[in-house]
Structure 1
Amino acid sequence: MEKKETILLDARLSAVIDKHAFDAELCNGHHVVAFFRGKSREANSALTGSLVQVELSPFDMSKGWIVSAGDKR
């Protein structure tokens, strides 16, 4: 397995944990802690209920990075 391999999944932000951390419910029902990366922290104003894409490492699937934030549906 390459070091750069990641898993990309759709999720819905279900709760705010911290200023930059969210509880995200994946499409399969599991919950992970999702973070915004670097400069996207200031640019994004994601709310609970927003649809996002989360990038997970196959080595630690309890935490992930929010890659793109979508609309609230």
Structure 2
Amino acid sequence: MGSVWSRLGAEVTVVEFLGGIGGAGIDEREQFQKILAKQGIKFKLNTKVLSADTVDGKVFVKAQICQG
């Protein structure tokens, strides 16, 4: 869904608690993440979302990097 919003002009950042995006095998996940990154989507991996607020139509997320 993020790729659709990105193509429509939104700035998209994926915040993921795990060390990589979900999906099939490791190779497929890494390739998919590279494709999305080329489309301008940013990734914050190993990151926990603490809260999210909407201000003037924008979403602001407070997050914390997870210690592994």
Normalised by the length of structure 1, the TM-score is 0.23
Q: Normalized per residue, which structure has more strand? A: 1
Normalised by the length of structure 2, the TM-score is 0.23
* Structure label with greater radius of gyration: 2
Q: Normalized per residue, which structure has more helix? A: 2
